[in-house]
Amino acid sequence: MLNCAVIMGRLTATPELKTTLKGISVTTFTVAVNRSFGGETDFINVVAWRNTAEFITRYFEKGSMIAITGSIQTRKYEDGNGNKRTAFEVVANNVSFCGSKSESKFNAEMQELANSRPEYISTAGPNDFDEIEDDDDLPF
């Protein structure tokens, strides 16, 4: 059996971090994915948990390009009129930046950190390190 989903598109809204009653981080959001034929767009619901949810809500916002790998899950629920419904969504396992560096919130935060904390920037050159002659004691 195989259940693998890979999508790439733009966020339709800025994801919000929520917490379950047990303190687990979660976010749900929608990704607009252009079809490769016909010029149509699919809107795919995604859910992310724990560290993945925290990462997404910190570095992605409405309009950000995102690539997601995960699996498809279904949920059954009852709507406000008592009708039984089924929801399909992608459970995100891994996410990646896909947009340009200039549109990346992560890139902007790293640049801000570099400007405000110059002691974290290494000025070491290739000749500033000693070569290890005997590597028998190394664990790898």
- 103, burial (CB in 10 Å: exposed 0-12, middle 13-18, buried 19+): middle
Mean per-residue pLDDT over the chain, rounded: 85
Q: How many domains does the chain have?
A: 1
In a domain, 133, yes or no: no
Residues near 89 by Cβ (< 8 Å), separated by ≥ 6?
28, 44, 45, 46, 47, 72, 73, 75
Checking if the pLDDT of 104 tops 80, the result is: no
The amino acid that residue 3 corresponds to is N
Q: Look up the CATH number of the domain holding residue 60.
A: 2.40.50.140
Percentage with pLDDT > 70 across the chain: 71
Strand partners, 9: 66
Domain that holds residue 99: 5-122
In a domain, 107, yes or no: yes
Q: What's residue 1's pLDDT?
A: 85
Is 134 in a helix, a strand, or coil?
coil
In a domain, 130, yes or no: no
pLDDT tens track for 27-57: 999 999 999 888 899 999 999 999 999 999 9
pTM summary value: 0.71
Checking if the pLDDT of 120 tops 60, the result is: no
In a domain, 135, yes or no: no
